[in-house]
Amino acid sequence: RNHINREMSLKKESRNTGKKTVQFQDTNNQVVYEKGPRARIFKARESLLTDLFKDGNARSLYNVFPGIFCLTMVYSALKDYQREGRFYLGTRLIRSAFAKLDVAMVIWLCMFASSLMVYFIFTLWVRGRRKIEWKGTWDRLFGLVYGLYVLVSLHLVAIWAVMNNLGPATCLAIMLEMTRLLMKSHAFVRSNSPKFLENKQGAFPSVSHYLYFLFAPTLIYSDSYPRTNRIRWGRVVTSFAEVIAIVFMWSVIVENTYVDYLKDYGKTNYTFLEIITFIVECNFAGFIMFILLFYLCHSYFNGTAELTRFSDRLFYLDWWTAENWDEFLRKWSYFVHEWLHIYIYRDLHGVLFPGRTLLAKVLVLLLSGYFHDLILCVASRAFLPLTTIEFLCFVWIRKLVSNKFMLGLLGMEMSCTITLFMMEYYARINCPMQTASIIGYVMPRFLYC
């Protein structure tokens, strides 16, 4: 019954997002409506897994994981002692993956400062627009500055990460954080600029509210959000302890499967059949890693929401019931899908390409795929646009794969993706370029190493 009510509520919200609504806050139900056509209804609600785990049967599945974690650590200790006569428990891979965190913190401070500059430049644009007569030129100047910031900042961070030789996981975290800050900055500018372009009177968003938006686990901007009364520190500790445990489990799985098998790639010849067989063998490991990745996101977002007292925790939907790829992509990361739909798809479909639905969808998928691939390629130092290719394939096969096959293919997709990136990673280590060139750096080295 709760699941049906949730689905009906979401459908009602999606119908209302195209209409103009009046902003108010109900202190009893904590529902917030944002003024304007880009409205999103915020209300106090738990994540789907949190609601499901209130049931005793579902809770019993959760109680299995502490035992699985302990067995994973025992397995890691035995394998470490068998190979090298000492225990690592996944820490060796974690240390190398998260190398140069201190440098990453300096880069993050620069990224955060640039996000604050967006607020002050936007403020300057609004105040200048109220005083000067040549508003069109002023608007175009602001658009040019903002566009350059969006284009340059992400790629500049990528260059810094590569030049400073950050660890793969450190690169991944930095690129994800820069992407998050860019998405939030765009949401702020896109949500507030229409009312000032139309010369509407209203209070300008405060710096404190903008700072809260930067740290709150949402990508949709609103003038107010539902908040909890207090921080439940027990939930915070539990959530981030789960994140740490999942990182260790990921490290153990990767080290004892992909690293152990592919670390000599470039020194030892692997046949095509051996690689395909290895991908299939690691299908189950890939599926476990996919589930762990999902639960890591669940724990991290809920821990962050608890710290910021953000009470709307609709970060994902029941993607495991999806009947096709379209539905899966929407439900897997619902708050990212919302951002793409509200701030990108609507502009493409309603302004740039009116009525051309398929073209707008393809462009959104290409943009999403580009950001995914940029993050993964910088982290792995490999030019492999796998996500963009996958998303384009989804356009053609999105209605052909049923739920049963789709869930099975998730593990295969994860196994194939990790295998290819690991092959390229070790190919670049074991087969360095003889002469430096752009083509040699961009071309996948695992193809000829």
Indicate if the pLDDT at residue 23 is higher than 50. no
Closest CA to 131 of 189, 196, 195: 196
Reported as a single tens digit per residue, the pLDDT across 359-373 is 898 899 889 999 999
Instruction: Over range 90-116, report the average pLDDT.
Output: 93
pLDDT of residue 5: 53
Cα separation values, 442 from 28, 85, 382, 445, Å: 56, 39, 7, 8
Q: How confident is the model at residue 432 (pLDDT cuts 50, 70, 90)?
A: confident
> Taking a C-beta distance cutoff of 8 angstroms, is the pair 397, 413 a contact?
no
Q: How far apart are CA 95 and CA 248, in angstroms?
A: 11
Distance CA 266, CA 446 (A): 8
**310 forms bridges with which residues in the sheet?**
227
- Range name among 148-157, 252-261, 338-347, 408-417 with the lowest pLDDT average: 408-417
Per annotation, catalytic residue among 3, 155, 349, 372: 372
Residues in the chain: 449
CA–CA dist 265, 147 (Å, integer): 42
Known catalytic membership, residue 372 = yes
Q: End-to-end CA distance of the chain, in Å? A: 56
Which segment of 121-135, 194-208, 229-243, 376-390 scores lowest on mean pLDDT?
Answer: 194-208
Predicted TM-score (pTM) of the model is: 0.86
Q: Which residue has the higher pLDDT, 445 or 109?
A: 109
Q: Is residue 15 over pLDDT 70?
A: no
Between 4-18, 107-121, 360-374, the lowest mean confidence (pLDDT) is in: 4-18
Task: Using alpha carbons, select from 88, 414, 380, 97 the residue that is nearest to residue 252.
Answer: 88
What confidence score (pLDDT) does residue 400 get?
Answer: 60
CA pair distance 141, 122, nearest whole angstrom: 12
Q: Give 124's pLDDT tier (boundaries 50, 70, 90).
A: very high
pLDDT digits (tens, 9 = 90+) for 32-63: 434 444 557 899 999 999 999 988 888 888 88
Residue type, 115: S
Long-range contacts of 340-347 (CB under 8 A, 24+ apart): 340/364, 340/367, 340/368, 342/17, 342/38, 342/40, 342/220, 343/38, 343/186, 343/187, 343/190, 346/38
Which range among 29-38, 260-269, 301-310 shows the weakest confidence by mean pLDDT?
Answer: 29-38
The average pLDDT across 186-205 equals 82
CA atoms within 13 A on the CB side of 105: 5
- CA pair distance 134, 157, nearest whole angstrom: 35
CB 245 within 8 A of CB 69: yes
Give dist(CA 371, CA 374) in Å, integer: 5
What is d(CA 104, CA 162) in angstroms, rounded to the nearest whole number?
11
Report how far residue 53's alpha carbon sits from residue 119's, in angstroms, rounded to the nearest whole number. Answer: 40
Name 32's bridge partners: 25, 42
Q: What confidence category does residue 278 fall into, taking pLDDT thresholds of 50, 70 and 90?
A: very high
Across 368-380, b (16+ Cβ under 10 Å) vs e yields bbebbbbbbbbbb
**Alpha carbon distances (Å) from 10 to 21, 138, 338:** 17, 40, 12
pLDDT, the chain, mean: 85
**Per-residue pLDDT averaged across 100-115, rounded?**
94
Condensed to tens digits (0 to 9), the pLDDT of residues 215-252 reads 999 999 998 899 999 999 999 999 999 999 999 999 99
- The answer to whether 384 and 376 have CB atoms below 8 angstroms apart is yes
